[in-house]
């Protein structure tokens, strides 16, 4: 009886610590489930190529076929909805063919930037405007001054090992 009493008293004295450990493990488990749920779309995303160049070619092919839904899926997940809307607008205004041709021409003059990370790759290219121009988009007039501009396309490698366009 004395041994049982000592065990019971020791258990009661350590009850707070035991409860804290159980709660800590429960919180860690909940946190891990939340992290896994948040990472799932990135791990399961199958759109994109095994290289940045392949992803860009897939994107251009979708544009040529006017499949803006597919084309927007080659962007990183947070930017897909916005690009879908933009590409829908381009399609409505019959600008997809020009956009695709322009991007294809730029790709042919890409300079691959030194890679600072194994999961990010940037390509830069120059565009030249011979004269000032104004582009109307979504009812808004956007002025462009004549000159030479350096632009870039940035890609990110997803946990699915596919590359996605993060900046265009």
Q: Which has the minimum average pLDDT: 16-30, 82-96, 125-139?
A: 16-30
Domain coordinates in residue numbering, the chain: 46-167
Tell whether the model's pLDDT for residue 10 goes beyond 70: no
CATH number of 46-167: 3.10.450
Tell whether the model's pLDDT for residue 71 goes beyond 90: yes
- Residue 136: beta bridge partners? 141
Distance, CA of 24 to CA of 102 (rounded, Å): 55
| 135 backbone dihedrals φ, ψ, rounded to 5° | -110, 135
Number of other CB atoms surrounding residue 38 within 10 Å: 9
Short-list 95, 97, 77, CA closest to 86: 95
pTM of the full structure: 0.70
Q: What is the mean pLDDT of residues 56-84?
A: 95
| 12 backbone dihedrals φ, ψ, rounded to 5° | -65, -35
Q: Are 134 and 144 in contact (CB under 8 A)?
A: yes
Q: Are 165 and 154 in contact (CB under 8 A)?
A: yes
Model confidence pLDDT, tens digit, residues 116-138: 778 899 888 877 778 887 777 66
């Amino acid at each position: 009886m004395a041994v049982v009493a000592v065990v019971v008293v020791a258990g009661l004295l350590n009850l707070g610590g035991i409860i804290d450990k159980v709660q800590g493990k429960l919180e860690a488990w909940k946190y891990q489930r939340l992290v896994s749920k948040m990472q799932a779309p990135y791990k399961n995303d199958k759109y994109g190529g095994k290289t940045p160049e392949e992803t860009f070619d897939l994107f251009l092919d979708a544009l040529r076929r006017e499949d803006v839904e597919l084309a927007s899926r080659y962007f990183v997940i947070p930017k897909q909805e916005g690009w879908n809307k933009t590409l829908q607008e381009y399609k409505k205004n019959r600008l997809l063919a020009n956009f695709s041709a322009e991007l294809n021409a730029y790709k042919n003059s890409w300079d691959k930037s030194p890679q600072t990370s194994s999961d990010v790759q940037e390509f830069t290219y120059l565009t030249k405007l011979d004269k000032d121009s104004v582009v109307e988009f979504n009812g808004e007039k956007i002025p462009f001054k004549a000159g030479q501009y350096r632009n870039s396309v940035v890609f990110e490698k997803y946990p699915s090992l596919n590359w996605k366009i993060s900046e265009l």
